[in-house]
Amino acid sequence: MQRQVVITQEDVPLLQKMSHTLGFLCADMVQKANSGHPGAPMGLADIASVLSFHLNLSPKNPAWLNRDRLIFSGGHASTLVYSLLHLWGFDVSMQDLQSFRQFGSKTPGHPEFKHTQGVEITTGPLGQGIANAVGKAMASKYATNLFGREIFSHFVYCLCGDGDLQEGISYESASLAGHHKLSNLIVIYDSNNITIEGDTHIAMSENIRGRFEAQGWEVLECDGHNFLQIHNTLESAKSSSKPSLIIAKTIIAKNALSLEGSHKAHGAPLGEEIIAKAKQKLGFPLESFHIPCDVAFAFGMMKERGELLELQWQKQVDNLPQIARERFEAMVKMDISNISYPQFEVGQSVATRVSNGKILNAISAGVEGFIGGSADLAPSNNTTLENEGDFPQGKNWHFGIREHAMGAICNGVANYGLFLPFCATFFVFSDYMSPSVRVASLMKARVYYIWTHDSIGVGEDGATHQPIEQLSHFRAMPNLLVFRPADANENVACWQVALDSNLPCAFVLSRQNLPVLMPYNADLKEKVKKGAYILQECENADITLMASGSEVSLAINAGKALEQAGIKARVVSVPCFDLLLEQSKSYVKELCGESKILAIEASRGLEWYYVADEVISMKGFGASGKGEMLLNHFGFSVENILKVAETLCKK
């Protein structure tokens, strides 16, 4: 629900006063903390003041679905974020501003989603925010196709700088945005030509206009300190049929006297003397954290305006046809209770990537907002949602060969408020996704990662395509649950646990067929919840074999061979090492008794030494050859397990 915004020459004095207030609030915050980045916020204060009149937000209900989304890709401009949130009426107090960067405050060094009301997404690494904004714009376009422009008419705004555009993720995500003509996306480029080391020309000389026009964007330019130009350019961008890039020429640390335009103002306090002289020169009160009454009123109109717009919007929602309204309400609730999971017969031979494809389709059939896709690998990842169509009308989203952007786009989709997104690629390429997975874990965003071709079992593609260290890396990441199911039915249980968890989750899946080891029953989900469980019991065991994924069936076969050799062996499946770590030491004792513990995993596996006495794992990279031959060569065979186990039991 958009409204007409009118700004004339008569409004300029008030806008100037608003901008000065913003700029000095930011400078005062950094000065009091003796830490932070005053330059970018002061350079953006003019743009932020005008943007305040264009944005539709509801501080009374920050989760209002038709609000405009404002993303600061340059998270170092956090003082500007917090100042705006305070002035607009969000739950950010003056005390919070004065506690900037202090332990336990609502105003950390870089904005964090769920930590500070009104912050749309966590954007620490540069470039992430642009891809997040593309994700939110894609979510909005899909939602609009589902329910109409009466329900979803908002814009997605993103403020970015030179550093964001130098990061490769911005190119990947901008390419996809242009391809899909995301006309609801407006990126404002704070073009101040300054980075930490100095003028951008030392490392950047490309034609930004030409780059974005080549990717299908509308490119506009304005003086970032001319209020009427800023307003008129925003109006033009809002009427474009393409995503828009506004190149706003700005001066870093505007009004900071000798530090104006200098890279020295990027990441250090300006100093009390410069701040005082700057305020004096502009006729601004010298007291710190001063907010004039008329400025507070002008910014504060956001609250009443947003409340009214939300009430008008809710009437539109209430007037939806019954079927559409029920669908809308189901998506808002993200109800996962209506999923009919597939079951698999013991003795079948099914790759976990294949069983996972069936599970994805079952979830999609039961959950309206479950959407996703692959980085051009859907046939190999088994991630196609059958008969569901393609974005922007359907649930299948094609990210192209853009893993880095794909991960960050899904973070934006997950925070949108209607969707549970998944994304997929080969496990070895998860390296490209690591920054966005880390940010998702920080936010506890509900993104589901499908990573197939999980080990040296990939075979002939060779060492470049065989993941070795990735499993240990992601298991080490807090708030991320990494599942490596042993078979198709355990895969079902893993998904049930994942959907209940409210955390980002990764599924590391086999290319090769694996035997279905156990029937599905309700107890399996409860076992998986603890991360590990006894699959093959043995009283008074001499040794416990612990494994995940494809190595579990190997452990079972090895257990039989050990029994024949006179060694009592128990087998424990560990589908989620992260959940096992959450259990008490007594639970590990319950699983393994007094026996020796031998872990088996076709990966680096250093984390296994937390519970195991010995680990059979990869000591180096893989090689090209038949998968079965490689597994034998690198020690993942019954014979080698028998040899290692015998030696271990003699210690």
Q: Which residues carry out catalysis?
A: 403
Distance between CA atoms of residues 231 and 123, nearest Å: 26
Query: Is 484 flagged in the annotation as binding?
Result: no
The single-letter DSSP state of residue 390 is B
How many other C-beta atoms lie within 10 A of the C-beta of residue 610? 11
Tally helices (H) and strands (E) across the chain. Answer: 24, 19
Which alpha helices (DSSP H) does 392-533 contain, by range? 403-414, 434-443, 470-475, 488-501, 522-529
CA dihedral 615, 620, 624, 625 (to 10 degrees): -30
Query: Is 225 flagged in the annotation as binding?
Result: no
Distance between CA atoms of residues 324 and 608, nearest Å: 50
Query: Is 194 flagged in the annotation as binding?
Result: yes
Query: Is 126 flagged in the annotation as binding?
Result: yes
Query: Is 192 flagged in the annotation as binding?
Result: yes
β strands within 66-224, DSSP E: 69-72, 156-161, 185-191, 194-195, 198-199, 218-223
Through-space distance between the first and last CA atoms of the chain, rounded to whole angstroms = 73
Write the CA distances from 496 to 117, 214, 582, 587, integer angstroms: 30, 44, 18, 22
Query: Is 627 flagged in the annotation as binding?
Result: no
**Helix (H/G/I), strand (E/B), else coil: 33:** helix
CB 602, CB 628: distance < 8 Å:
no
Query: Is 20 flagged in the annotation as binding?
Result: no
Query: Is 163 flagged in the annotation as binding?
Result: yes
Query: Is 353 flagged in the annotation as binding?
Result: yes
Query: Is 321 flagged in the annotation as binding?
Result: no
Query: Is 465 flagged in the annotation as binding?
Result: yes
Query: Is 461 flagged in the annotation as binding?
Result: yes
Distance between CA atoms of residues 140 and 575, nearest Å: 35
CB 377, CB 410: distance < 8 Å:
no
Query: Is 511 flagged in the annotation as binding?
Result: yes
Query: Is 455 flagged in the annotation as binding?
Result: no
Query: Is 162 flagged in the annotation as binding?
Result: yes
DSSP output for 461-474 = T-GGGS-SSHHHHH
DSSP output for 446-462 = --EEEEES-SGGG-TT-
- Beta-bridged to residue 597, according to DSSP, are 544
Query: Is 402 flagged in the annotation as binding?
Result: no
CB 431, CB 457: distance < 8 Å:
no
Distance between CA atoms of residues 173 and 178, nearest Å: 9
Distance between CA atoms of residues 488 and 498, nearest Å: 15
Distance between CA atoms of residues 33 and 24, nearest Å: 14
Binding site feature residues for substrate: 37, 266, 353, 380, 453, 461, 465, 511
Binding positions for Mg(2+): 162, 192, 194
Q: Which residues are annotated as a binding site?
A: 37, 76, 124-126, 162-163, 192, 194, 266, 353, 380, 429, 453, 461, 465, 511
Please state the residue numbers annotated as binding site for thiamine diphosphate.
76, 124-126, 163, 192, 266, 429
